[in-house]
């Protein structure tokens, strides 16, 4: 039987992919690539056509083999798939490091840079980024250090995957079985119905609440019973740690220490003082000091406001608040202040209406059409598939939408690359993306209904999808999101969030699931009034994450270890206003940093938010849905992908360098 992972035409055959296909397919493509690279290096001269273009195609083939595997591991995790996935990670890491440490290949790239006189700016940038990649992988190291660096990269791949697996297992293993109906006071009916369905699935009476985010959020935000809120918060805040109801069962503590140590050692091999310096070598930000100053400047602007907001919340509650009280009393205070609540808004945001409205918004902005395609092979019945078409009917690209939470699916929301745009033998291969969320699925006879916050999340991830799909760059390594500096890649996603706060777009994306009526104007005015609610508390919470991430990577000392708890406590003393209980083990679930790509880069959310807020202010000036402004954003930002320096792209769109004012205004921090 043929291996579906070695078929590189069309879309992945998800229904045919089995764990036993993964390792043979990867082994084959890696062996083929190595053989082809040796053949390329045997040529007499190195040129764009003889070296760079073939290497781009080889990388594209590898991505098409591995992307479906990586995605399935995130959305349909199983023991057999996990085992083969983890066996393959060191092989993939070894190959990637081996390539970037290849002296002969590096010299060939240098020869192309030197000898090619007719390269366009995008080709020149691709070469510059590739040469930087060689240097950051240790091409100039002596043999012994090269081998050590390669071993560290393999170790990190395994450790980071293990971190995420521990977190997933800990999340899936815990649940709260409620038998007394009186304990459900305050919890929304939809969450109660879903908990009853979960109990029935498990053969139990009553209600079962799990640690998937919609269930967790419903309890800590709405449950009147403080013991139930504390139970849920404790289980959530101690996942994969030495504390809580599953203490030490899937403990990430030692894994985190090993990750930080390996990152620090790898950075040191390349001459960097710490991993934060190494990380910033490929980002817009120029130094650790610049990032630290940026974050602390935001903290100075917002902490007093945050402290006032917290004191107001305690006054409202009329007693000292614990961590499991914050969301509960905040929702009540927001409702009292603005007469608005998540549950009042939820009926106006059925998933189908929001999705179609979102597509209508981007149609007005960029002249594109999003059209669902049926009959596509998918990994779960809930998954939908969409094509994105240009105004002339030509095909931009496509994306899968997997919106609902379920067991064996990674938490959170994300966009990932299924197929990157490429040109092969004169034919363009259109890009395909994965759009993944963890919303509450339909319950009873009602459709899936979103909170406004979830609508914002959906728009955010769709911004990443558009960045990937609307590219017009034909070289995979700088097409779409590829090649974009990590602290700029959030610009298109955060930009899209703003459309969820304007009357013109709310009328398009909302429609009551029973009547079809959009959010009433007076309800929208109350929603808009709540936009800056607890803006200071929200800001310092994000700054806490970012400063913690920066410091554990900038201040790592092998003799003292990661000092994770110590540094977190210092950061909280500096910027936080909400107290955390001693048992809180937030870092053990911080997958962005310990499992994902945000190591020493979590600041990117705020950094890119400066860019995105400033970009959106141009739409406010010209009209929120102004097609001309949208066309310029499409041309200068979305279509160029990583083919242009992000600061250059921003300045060409905005006519100047970014300013922080719009971020402070949208965040509610500015006076």
Q: Which residues are the active-site residues?
A: 461
Q: CA dist 129 to 1, 291, 478, 483, 488, Å?
A: 40, 22, 9, 7, 15
Closest CA to 164 of 589, 565, 553: 589
What is the greatest pairwise CA distance in the chain? 80
CB under 8 A, 24+ apart: contacts of 3-7: 3/28, 5/65, 5/68, 5/69, 6/65
Which of 416, 396, 419 lies closest to 470, judged by CA?
Answer: 396
Q: What does the alpha-carbon distance between residue 251 and residue 594 come to, in Å, rounded to a whole number?
A: 13
Q: Is beta strand 432-439 parallel, antiparallel or unpaired with respect to 395-404?
A: parallel
The answer to whether 400 and 433 are in contact (CB under 8 A) is yes
Q: If DSSP codes are grouped into helix, strand and coil, which group holds residue 624?
A: coil
Where do the H-state alpha helices sit in 206-287?
A: 213-222, 226-237, 253-269, 275-280
Q: DSSP label at 499?
A: G
How far is 22 from 27, CA to CA, in rounded Å? Answer: 9
634 CB neighbour count, 10 Å cutoff: 20
**Residues near 232 by beta carbon (within 8 Å), at least 6 away in sequence:** 176, 209, 211, 216, 219, 220, 223, 324
335 burial (CB, 10 Å; 0-12 / 13-18 / 19+) is middle
Q: Which helix (H) or strand (E) segment is 164 a member of?
A: helix 143-173
Closest among 202, 212, 204 to 232, alpha carbons compared: 212
Residue 472's φ and ψ, nearest 5 degrees, are: -120, 20
Helix intervals (H) in 101-142 = 103-115, 121-136
CB 657 within 8 A of CB 647: yes
CA dihedral (134, 137, 140, 146) in degrees, to 10, reads -140
The 3-state DSSP class for residue 349 equals coil
Using CB atoms within 10 A of its CB, is residue 337 exposed (0-12), middle (13-18) or buried (19+)? middle
Please return the burial class of 186, using the count of CB atoms within 10 Å of its CB with bins 0-12, 13-18 and 19+: middle
Q: Residue 39 burial (CB < 10 Å; 0-12/13-18/19+)?
A: exposed
Tokens of 468: 């990937």
Q: Token match 């403990």: residue?
A: 251
Take residue 375 and report the two structure tokens written for it.
Answer: 């009959």
Closest to 269 (Cα-Cα) out of 132, 142, 159: 142
What is the dihedral angle through the alpha carbons of 431, 437, 439, 441, rounded to the nearest 10 degrees? 50
Contact 451, 486 (CB under 8 A): no
Q: Which residue has the tokens 């938490």?
A: 411
Give CA 578 to chain center in angstroms. 25
Please compute, for residue 212, the number of CA atoms within 13 A of its CA located in the half-sphere on the CB side: 21
């Amino acid at each position: 039987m043929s291996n579906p992972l070695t078929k590189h035409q069309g879309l992945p055959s998800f229904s045919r992919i089995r764990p036993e296909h993964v390792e043979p397919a990867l082994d084959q493509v890696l062996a083929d690539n190595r053989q082809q690279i040796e053949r390329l290096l045997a040529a007499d001269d190195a040129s764009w056509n003889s070296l760079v273009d073939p290497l781009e195609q080889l990388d594209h083939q590898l991505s098409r083999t591995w992307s479906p595997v990586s995605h399935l591991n995130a959305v349909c995790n199983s023991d057999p798939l996990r085992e083969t996935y983890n066996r393959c990670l060191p092989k993939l890491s070894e190959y990637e490091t081996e390539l970037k440490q290849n002296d002969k290949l590096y010299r060939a790239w240098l020869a192309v840079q030197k000898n090619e006189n007719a390269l366009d700016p995008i080709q020149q940038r691709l070469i510059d980024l590739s040469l930087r990649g060689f240097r950051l992988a240790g091409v100039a190291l002596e043999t012994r250090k090269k081998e050590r660096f390669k071993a560290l990269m393999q170790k990190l791949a395994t450790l980071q995957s293990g971190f995420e697996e521990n977190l997933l297992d800990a999340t899936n293993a815990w649940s709260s079985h409620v038998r007394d109906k009186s304990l459900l006071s305050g919890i929304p009916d939809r969450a109660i119905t879903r908990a009853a369905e979960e109990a029935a699935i498990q053969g139990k009476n009553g209600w079962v609440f799990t640690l998937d985010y919609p269930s967790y959020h419903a309890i800590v935000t709405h449950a009147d019973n403080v013991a139930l809120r504390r139970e849920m918060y404790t289980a959530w805040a101690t996942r994969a740690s030495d504390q809580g109801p599953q203490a030490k069962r899937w403990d990430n503590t030692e894994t985190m220490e090993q990750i930080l140590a390996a990152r620090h050692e790898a950075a040191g091999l390349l001459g960097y003082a710490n991993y934060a310096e190494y990380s910033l070598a490929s980002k817009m930000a120029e130094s650790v000091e610049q990032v630290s100053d940026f974050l602390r400047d935001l903290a100075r602007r917002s902490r007093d406001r945050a402290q006032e907001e917290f004191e107001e919340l305690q006054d409202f509650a009329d007693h000292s608040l614990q961590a499991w009280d914050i969301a509960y009393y905040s929702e009540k205070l927001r409702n009292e202040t603005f007469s608005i609540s998540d549950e009042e808004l939820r009926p106006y945001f059925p998933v189908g209406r929001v999705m179609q409205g979102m597509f209508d918004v981007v149609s007005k902005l960029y002249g594109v059409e999003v059209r669902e395609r049926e009959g596509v092979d998918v990994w779960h019945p809930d998954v939908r598939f969409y094509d994105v078409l240009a105004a002339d009917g030509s095909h931009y690209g496509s994306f899968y939408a997997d919106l609902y939470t379920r067991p064996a699916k990674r938490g959170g929301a994300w966009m990932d690359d299924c197929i990157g745009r490429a040109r092969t033998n004169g034919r363009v291969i259109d890009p395909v993306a994965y759009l993944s969320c963890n919303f509450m699925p339909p319950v009873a006879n009602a459709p899936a209904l979103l909170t406004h916050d979830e609508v914002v999340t959906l728009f955010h991830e769709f911004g990443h999808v558009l960045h990937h799909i609307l590219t017009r760059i034909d070289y995979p390594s700088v097409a779409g999101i590829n090649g974009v500096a990590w602290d700029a890649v959030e610009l298109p996603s955060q930009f899209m969030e703003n459309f969820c706060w304007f009357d013109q777009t709310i009328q398009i994306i909302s429609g009551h699931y029973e009547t079809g009526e959009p959010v009433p104007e007076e309800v929208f005015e109350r929603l808009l009034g709540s936009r800056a609610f607890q803006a200071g508390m929200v800001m310092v919470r994000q700054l806490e994450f970012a400063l913690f991430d920066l410091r554990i990577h900038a201040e790592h000392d092998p003799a003292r270890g990661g000092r994770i708890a110590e540094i977190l406590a210092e950061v909280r003393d500096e910027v936080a206003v909400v107290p955390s209980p001693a048992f809180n083990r937030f870092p053990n679930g911080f997958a962005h940093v310990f499992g994902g790509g945000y190591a020493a880069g979590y600041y990117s959310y705020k950094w890119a938010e400066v860019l995105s807020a400033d970009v959106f202010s141009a739409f406010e000036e010209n009209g929120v849905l102004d097609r001309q402004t949208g066309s310029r954003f499409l041309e200068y930002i979305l279509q160029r992908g990583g083919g242009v320096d992000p600061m250059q792209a921003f300045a060409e769109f905005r006519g100047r360098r970014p300013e922080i004012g719009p971020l402070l205004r949208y965040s509610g921090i500015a006076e």
